[in-house]
Amino acid sequence: MRDFGWGDTLFLIGAVRWTLLLSFVAFVGGSLGGLAVALCRTGRIRVLRWLAAGFITLFQGTPLLMQLFLAFFVPGILGFDVDPWAAAAIGLSLHAAAFLGEIWRGAIEVVPRGQWEASTALGLRYAAQMRYVVLPQAVRIAVPPTVGFLVQLIKATSLASIIGFVELTRAAQIVNNATFQPFTVFGLVALIYFIICWPLSLYSRRMEQRLLVASR
């Protein structure tokens, strides 16, 4: 056992880049999947609506920790070698896709039906309706809850430490095992998470207020 030093602080700060990188990859992957899920949920093909609803039910109804375990261990059972980084990225992307898909479905359905009817009257097909009429309006509505979910996703990356991925929380566990000063180590980690997430939370709140004022 040794004292907590400046080198440990630098080690924790260095681990932030892996937390941010994992958050970015999971958010991008979840955005692509979430857009597909939202379009399927609001589309006209019944089978796709059912499949999208089942995907959302599965990933929203099971613990994220269990999803990360499955993403890490199931490929190995099938003969594929997946490292903790890839497993965490896959698990968090699927998790994000389920939640973002539902958020964006709600934003799409909030767009007034008159907009849909007007675009139909103009002869636009479903894809053109989405691209030129519905999605531009839905994006504005979806920004606040999307940013709010991003905050939750950043904090959720801490669960990747369970499968061995060395991000901020796992780095804190390593330092704490060497120094045995949990209050100092995890207090600093909590402060780092707060510094990352607080500005995003403020931005989400301001966007919600602007949207509320604009809708009046």
Residue 207 lies in a domain: yes
Q: Is residue 204 part of a domain?
A: yes
Which pair of tokens denotes residue 35?
Answer: 């857009």
pLDDT number for residue 190: 95
Domain coverage including residue 71? 6-215
Is 144:106 a contact under the CB 8 Å cutoff? no
Angle at 119 between CA 39 and CA 33, to 5 degrees: 10
Q: Work out the average pLDDT over 9-26.
A: 96
Q: What is the dihedral of CA 18, 24, 26, 32, to 10 degrees?
A: -160
How far apart, in whole angstroms, are the C-alpha atoms of residue 177 and residue 116? 59
Q: How confident is the model at residue 186 (pLDDT cuts 50, 70, 90)?
A: very high
Query: What amino acid is encoded at 36 in this protein?
Result: A
Work out the number of other CB atoms within 10 angstroms of the CB of residue 208.
Answer: 15
Residue 78's SS3 state is coil
Which amino acid, one-letter code, is at 196? Answer: I
Which among 61, 84, 83, 58 is positioned nearest to 162, based on CA atoms?
84
Cα separation, 84 vs 82, in Å, equals 7
Place 69 in a pLDDT band, splitting at 50, 70 and 90.
very high
CATH code, 156: 1.10.3720.10
pLDDT at 215: 54
What DSSP element (H or E) covers 48? helix 46-60
Flag whether 41 is in a domain: yes
* Per-residue confidence band for 19, with pLDDT thresholds at 50, 70 and 90: very high
Tallying the residues shown for the chain, one arrives at 216
Domain membership of residue 171 (yes or no) is yes
Structurally, how many domains does the chain consist of? 1
Asked whether residue 1 is assigned to any structural domain, the reply reads no
Structure confidence at residue 130 (pLDDT): 81
pLDDT of amino acid 161: 93
d(CA 34, CA 99): 7
Of residues 201 and 2, more confidence is placed in 201
Contacts of 212 (CB under 8 A, 6+ apart): none
Distance CA 169, CA 14 (A): 12
Q: Quick one: average pLDDT of 145-159?
A: 95
Asked whether residue 82 is domain-assigned, the answer is yes
pLDDT-wise least confident of 29-43, 119-133, 151-165 = 119-133
Query: 203 with 146: CB under 8 angstroms?
Result: no
Question: What pLDDT does residue 213 have?
Answer: 53
